[in-house]
Amino acid sequence: MPPSPKPNDAPRGAGRVVRNTLASQITAEIRALILDGAFPAGSQLNEFALATQFDVSRGPVREAFQRLIQEGLLRSEPHRGVFVPDLGTSDIVDIYFTRKSLEIAAIRRVMAGPERRRLSQELQGLTDEMAERLAKGEWREIADLDLHYHLRIVEEARSERLSRSYRTLQAETRLCLRIMMAGYRQNRALIEEHERLAAFIGQGNPRDVEEEMDTHFGDPVRILARAKAALRDHPIGVPAPAGGAD
């Protein structure tokens, strides 16, 4: 018989939790830096420099890179290194197309279920919070609320596979929204779109909801062009003039 383990013997695999927690923390830190714009699109990340900055070995940074590559927030180029993706027009159009397809599928199930009025109230609450953030110019928070709003629609469909598919898009969507939000600066259009969609969900006409959702996603190429113009004239961190984008 194998010898009985001593009381102080650690279970096999012990010690991985600490490393995994460290890698998770480093992943969260790098993710936040990317989404805050500290690493601009197209910039290369240096494993050694980040390990020095975080005062850790290169292992957790390397693991963080792999996780962020899987999320779509980093891109690995053979023999070159790891870079922040520079989303082009075709990337953004594809992200919008995929999100819209998943959300339309979700909303059809939601509208046939009994919880649409409760969901409508929850979405209106998120919209009210977005309006408060708009008054303060807190665009990162608005983007987070926007993502949560749409995630709740998908979650309410109660499809594990649909939700899983949608969640794989979230990181790329955050990167996309960091660019696209500039097209709405100093403008209530984004708030009004979310208010209308929440109201239509509560009213219960599936056709109205799908038409509003189609309008909500709109033309990503036009929104992107408007966002780039806004960023060129008024970079993030510099208040836009009253009236903003039309």
Q: What is the CATH number of the domain that holds 143?
A: 1.20.120.530
Determine the straight-line distance between the first and last CA of the chain, rounded to whole angstroms.
Answer: 78
Rounded Cα–Cα distance for residues 236 and 185 (Å): 10
Q: Is residue 2 part of a domain?
A: no
Domain assignment of residue 4, yes or no? no
Q: Work out the pLDDT band at 154, boundaries 50, 70, 90.
A: very high
190 within domain boundaries: yes
Highest-confidence range of 37-46, 136-145, 191-200, by mean pLDDT?
191-200
Range(s) of the domain holding residue 75 = 16-83
Q: How far apart (Å, rounded) are the C-alpha atoms in residues 107 and 85?
A: 31
Choice between 161 and 234, residue whose per-residue pLDDT is larger: 161
Query: How far is the C-alpha of 85 from the C-alpha of 44, rounded, in Å?
Result: 10
The pTM of this model reads 0.72
- The pLDDT tens digits of the residues spanning 53-88 come to 999 999 999 999 999 998 888 999 999 999 998 888
- Alpha-carbon distance 144 to 35, whole Å? 11
C-alpha 201 chain-centroid distance: 23
How many other CB atoms are found less than 10 A from the CB of residue 69?
A: 14
Residue 159 sits in the same domain as residue 193: yes
Residue 67: CATH number of its domain: 1.10.10.10
Q: Are residues 156 and 218 in the same domain?
A: yes
Token digits of residue 169: 């898009």
Question: Hey, which residues does 44 pair with through a beta bridge?
Answer: 83
Residues of the chain above pLDDT 90, percent: 49
Angle at 50 between CA 21 and CA 52, to 5 degrees: 95
- Condensed to tens digits (0 to 9), the pLDDT of residues 165-181 reads 998 888 888 888 777 76
104 and 79 in one domain? no
CA 143 → CA 55, 88, 104, 122, 176, distances in Å?
Answer: 31, 19, 20, 17, 10
The per-residue pLDDT for range 185-232, each reduced to its tens digit, is 556 788 999 999 999 999 989 999 999 998 888 777 777 776 666 656
Establish if 138 belongs to a structural domain. yes
In whole angstroms, give the CA distance from residue 113 to residue 157.
Answer: 9
